[in-house]
Amino acid sequence: MDHKSVAERVLQDVGGVGNIRAAAHCATRLRLVLKNQDSVDQSAIDNDEDLKGSFLNAGQFQIIVGPGDVNEVFKHMVASGAPEVSKDDLKSIAANQGNIFSRFIKTIADIFIPLIPVLVGGGMLMALDNVLRAKNIFGPKPLIEMYPAWEGFADIVNLLSAAPFAFLPVLVGYSATKVFGGNPYLGLTMGAAMVSPALMNGYKVAASLAHTEGADPMKYWDLFGLQVQQAGYQGTVLPILLVSFILANIEKFFHKILKGTIDFIFTPTLTLLITGFVTFLLVGPPMFQLGTWLGEGVNWLYTAAGPIGGLIFGVLYAPIVITGLHQSFPPIETSLWASGGSFIFVIASISNVAQGAAAAGVALTTKNKKIKGVASASAPSAFWVLPNPHFSV
């Protein structure tokens, strides 16, 4: 291989040295952060007999050269003016590529894509549980009433299907803290604290705060005269995202100012302590209040604006679910069902089916194998019960 010639061709095919923001390499690949991805002639790179392919991953355009050769090609690229950085710096530069919105979307995707298999599995089991318990599928009664021997099986399916969503803050806490640069096990621990059985179940909080008839009363901690809600966060997403971000930055701060054994002992201790109080004092109450306002606003929107209000709510429903604020809807739905029916249920069902159809369309048309796999797995669960596509596709 003529390493200098390969380096020249690579520079030409990526849009010139001026299009390279940062460059590094690993054992086999060139790793480039480019200013304009549209300037790349990827087909020329992929068809180059001295190169073994290319792909874009996490903001890095990676070109497979091969062990040994990659070092020599990289040296010639740097000699021609490519800005050399460390692999860690390259990751940081890649992470900060694009505008605020694109970075936000990338961060959310990095957090939730690893969770897709869990959510898909739970969603499919939830669909199976619904089939086992629904009337007029196998007969006038649910299957488990017609054949009581199936009841134990259905109970276990129900348990397994509910687990990913009841403990969603645990899963998100691990993944989000890892993405934000903190210790993921500290994030997992905070997520577990937020769904502790010592707290009121998160699915009951909205009804309790709305003083719905028959709802359990909210309990409070007396913290030096300050009343703090003992509320759980089952099924929520936005609170643990904020908590994970706060936790990761608190941990980084203590790692900077503490050293050695002191750092090892006190950084996780102080991180959990401070984050815990911030969670229940500053993050939780505003989130629950926001949920209450949202529920009241949705009810007013549909009542006052009719079909137009329904259209607006339909557009906003999927983003609301992503945040977990849809947990504030049950008290409203309870009163709606009592008066004859729920518009929320209809809109939620249409939203799920629309997302399933969109994911199926992506699965059929995309050439990206990773996206095709995620879309193929997400579409069926969205059709049947759970809107996974908005987290990943």
**Between 144 and 386, whose confidence is greater?**
144
Tell me which fold the domain 3-97 belongs to: Gyrase A; domain 2 (3.30.1360)
| Average pLDDT in the chain | 81
Domain-wise residue ranges, the chain: 3-97, 106-384
**8-67 pLDDT, tens per residue?**
999 999 999 999 999 999 888 999 998 888 888 988 998 888 888 888 876 789 999 988
Residue 278 Cα distances to 104, 181, 191, 239, 281, angstroms: 23, 19, 13, 11, 5
Residue 113 Cα distances to 98, 100, 372, angstroms: 20, 20, 13
**265-285 pLDDT, tens per residue?**
999 999 999 999 999 998 887
- pLDDT range class, residue 325, cuts 50, 70, 90: low
Contact 232, 201 (CB under 8 A): yes
Cβ count near 213 (within 10 Å): 8
Please identify every residue annotated as catalytic.
Answer: 26
Cα 122 to Cα 114: distance, rounded to the nearest angstrom: 14
pLDDT at 348: 74
Give the three-class secondary structure for 33. strand
DSSP string, 307-334: HHHHHHHHHHHHHHHHHTGGGG-HHHHH
Check residue 285 and report its DSSP letter: H
